[in-house]
């Protein structure tokens, strides 16, 4: 099937992600390897990840991986909470908390404010940003110097930068675990190799996945409510997915943990205008609960999609299986399992006749140029 007429920036970005993942894995690892010293790493008792928007979702996606690799508790907090609401006791004694702040541009005022406040209370602050002259880079004590290669289709849709944010968090965590002797250097190399293997597998399946997402977009172009669910790192995928629908189509979208879905999202209407999408790994700890939830979801007259790496997962009718490659480690899956929704939301944007991010529309003129995010007053509390 010829999809050329509906190729769009989301499509272009999704197809670039596997090669970007492979090339940046080695580069980010080399550039970040010595950022944290051995004495600093041994002082850490917890990690806090902060960000806004997609950067916040990146933290949610990598939380289980980072806890597994570092052996430390990892908390993912909105930048606003850390900047204005966190009690000073949360930061612990000086040097005991690593605060990792994610922002590709480094220009978002609230992230820089949160980092400055955490630093004032003795946290070791590490910025993951591509701009060394940004507010964030100047506020943090250290920086992972990411550089996302220029891209003809542009980078405003977040598909490529989201990968780099997650990859940076993951590679720093691998290094921390290695220094703490939680595993051997050969294991660290195996983890990094697994990242590239996962990218290879996704690259091979993308054309097939693309065809399926196009067909699903055509079938659901009239839907108005998009409901995403996942647990563990897949909660981050759900967050990112709901954000792309809102940005691409302007339709109502929500995300939730699988357990929370049964407490609230099950009550949504109109059910005939609704798409439910679940991320469920075949070997994930949440497998049994995911299957129970899917029984409830398919009872509703909405459309149910299941993104899974398990061809044999027993899905109830009429749920649609979206089969993706299996990562070598369950906690690695969120690094790339967001690509189906990236393709899907781009096609929906085109089919619905929308413009990404409401570009050029008068009612949304206040978001042009990101001034509302970058020029906000910074306050120290």
The predicted-structure confidence for 261-273, as pLDDT tens digits, reads as follows 999 999 998 889 9
Q: Do 25 and 131 share a domain, yes or no?
A: yes
**Nearest CA-CA partner of 261 in 217, 302, 221:** 302
Q: Do 166 and 70 share a domain, yes or no?
A: yes
**Residue 369 forms part of a structural domain:** no
Structure tokens at 184: 């051997």
**Residue 178 forms part of a structural domain:** yes
- pLDDT bin (cut points 50, 70, 90) of residue 3 is low
Instruction: Note the pLDDT of residue 262.
Output: 92
Average pLDDT over every residue of 28-50: 97
Structure tokens at 226: 């998009």
Residues 6+ apart with CB under 8 A from 34: none
> What gap in Å lies between CA 59 and CA 148, rounded to an integer?
18
Structure tokens at 122: 């003795």
Residue 159: is the preceding peptide bond cis (ω within 30°)? no
Give the CA radius of gyration of the chain: 20
The predicted-structure confidence for 190-241, as pLDDT tens digits, reads as follows 999 999 999 999 999 999 999 999 999 999 999 999 999 999 999 999 999 9
**Residue 210 forms part of a structural domain:** yes
Instruction: Note the pLDDT of residue 155.
Output: 61
Structure tokens at 4: 């050329």
**Collapsing DSSP states into helix, strand and coil, what is residue 67?**
helix
Q: Do 221 and 290 share a domain, yes or no?
A: yes
The predicted-structure confidence for 99-125, as pLDDT tens digits, reads as follows 999 998 899 999 999 999 999 999 999
What is the Cα 320 distance to its own chain's centre? 23
User: Which of 197, 222, 242 marks a domain boundary?
Assistant: 197
Sheet strands side by side (includes 142-145):
74-78, 46-51, 97-102, 124-129, 142-145
Average pLDDT over every residue of 307-319: 97
Domain range for 100: 4-197
Q: What is the CATH number of the domain that holds 348?
A: 3.40.50.10490
Q: Do 189 and 328 share a domain, yes or no?
A: no
User: What sign results for the dihedral spanned by CA atoms 147, 150, 151, 157?
Assistant: positive
Sheet strands side by side (includes 225-229):
252-256, 225-229, 274-279, 303-308, 320-323
CB-CB contact of 307 with 315 (8 Å) = no
**Nearest CA-CA partner of 162 in 22, 374, 338:** 338
Q: Do 294 and 156 share a domain, yes or no?
A: no
> What gap in Å lies between CA 139 and CA 109, rounded to an integer?
11
CB-CB contact of 208 with 339 (8 Å) = no
Instruction: Note the pLDDT of residue 78.
Output: 96
What value does the mean pLDDT of the chain take? 93
Q: Do 142 and 229 share a domain, yes or no?
A: no
User: Which of 180, 197, 214 marks a domain boundary?
Assistant: 197
Q: How many domains does the chain have?
A: 2
Q: Write b or e for each residue in 337-352: b if 16 or more Cβ atoms lie within 10 A of its Cβ, otherwise e.
A: bbbbbbbbbbbbbbbb
Bridge partner residues of 99 (DSSP): 48, 125
Question: The pTM is what?
Answer: 0.95
**Residue 376 forms part of a structural domain:** no
Bridge partner residues of 142 (DSSP): 126
**Residue 363 forms part of a structural domain:** no
User: Which of 133, 164, 197 marks a domain boundary?
Assistant: 197
pLDDT beyond 60 at 339: yes
Q: Do 308 and 233 share a domain, yes or no?
A: yes
Tell the residue number behind the tokens 């409830």, with chain if given.
Answer: 296
What is the helix (H) or strand (E) element at residue 304, kind and residue range? strand 303-308
Instruction: Note the pLDDT of residue 368.
Output: 66
Q: Do 161 and 213 share a domain, yes or no?
A: no
What is the β-pairing status of strands 252-256 and 225-229? Answer: parallel
Cβ neighbours, 10 Å, residue 92:
16
Q: Do 222 and 148 share a domain, yes or no?
A: no
Tell me the percentage of the chain whose pLDDT exceeds 90: 84
Structure tokens at 39: 């004495």
Q: Do 83 and 227 share a domain, yes or no?
A: no
**Residue 167 forms part of a structural domain:** yes
Q: Do 71 and 165 share a domain, yes or no?
A: yes
Instruction: Note the pLDDT of residue 93.
Output: 97
Instruction: Note the pLDDT of residue 327.
Output: 98
Most confident of 64-73, 126-135, 261-270: 64-73
Structure tokens at 66: 């980072």
- Read off the DSSP letter of residue 49: E
What is the end-to-end Cα distance of the chain in Å, rounded?
Answer: 57
Q: Do 24 and 94 share a domain, yes or no?
A: yes
**Residue 366 forms part of a structural domain:** no
List phi, psi (to 5°) of 101. -110, 130
> What gap in Å lies between CA 272 and CA 315, rounded to an integer?
20
Cβ neighbours, 10 Å, residue 354:
17
Residue 293's alpha-carbon distances to 38, 272, 326, 365, in angstroms, are 44, 18, 22, 40
CB-CB contact of 140 with 133 (8 Å) = no
| Length reported for the chain | 381
**Residue 371 forms part of a structural domain:** no
């Amino acid at each position: 099937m010829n999809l050329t007429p509906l190729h769009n920036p989301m499509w272009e970005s999704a197809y670039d992600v596997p090669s970007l993942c492979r090339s940046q894995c080695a580069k980010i690892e080399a550039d970040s390897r010595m950022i944290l010293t051995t004495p600093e790493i041994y002082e850490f008792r917890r990690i806090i990840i902060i960000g806004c928007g997609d950067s916040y979702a990146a933290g949610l996606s990598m939380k289980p991986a980072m806890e597994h690799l570092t052996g430390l508790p990892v908390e993912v907090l909105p930048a606003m909470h850390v900047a204005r609401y966190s009690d000073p006791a949360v930061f612990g004694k000086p040097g005991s908390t690593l605060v990792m702040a994610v922002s590709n541009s480094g220009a978002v005022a609230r992230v820089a404010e949160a980092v400055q406040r955490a630093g004032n209370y003795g946290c070791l602050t590490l910025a993951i940003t591509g701009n060394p002259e940004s507010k964030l880079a100047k506020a943090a004590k250290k920086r992972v110097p990411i550089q996302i290669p220029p891209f003809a289709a542009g980078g405003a849709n977040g598909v490529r930068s989201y990968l780099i944010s997650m990859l940076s968090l993951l590679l720093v965590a691998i290094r921390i675990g290695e220094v703490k002797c939680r595993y051997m250097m050969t294991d660290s190399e195996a983890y990094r190799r697994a990242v590239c293997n996962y990218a290879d597998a996704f690259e091979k399946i993308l054309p097939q996945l693309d065809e399926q997402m196009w067909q699903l977009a055509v079938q659901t172009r009239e839907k108005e409510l998009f409901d995403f669910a996942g647990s563990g790192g897949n909660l981050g995928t759900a967050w990112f997915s709901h954000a792309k629908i809102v940005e691409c189509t302007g339709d109502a979208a929500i995300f939730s943990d699988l357990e929370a879905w049964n407490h609230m999202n099950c009550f949504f209407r109109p059910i005939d205008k609704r798409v439910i999408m679940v991320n469920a790994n075949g070997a994930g700890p949440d497998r049994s609960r995911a299957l129970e939830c899917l029984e409830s979801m398919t009872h509703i007259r909405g459309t149910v999609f299941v993104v899974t790496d398990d061809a044999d997962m027993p899905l109830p009718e009429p749920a649609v299986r979206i089969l993706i490659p299996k990562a070598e480690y369950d906690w690695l899956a969120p690094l790339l399992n967001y690509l189906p929704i990236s393709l899907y939301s781009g096609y929906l944007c085109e089919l619905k006749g929308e413009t990404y991010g409401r570009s050029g529309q008068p009612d949304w003129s206040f978001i042009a140029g990101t001034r509302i995010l970058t020029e906000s007053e910074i306050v120290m509390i």
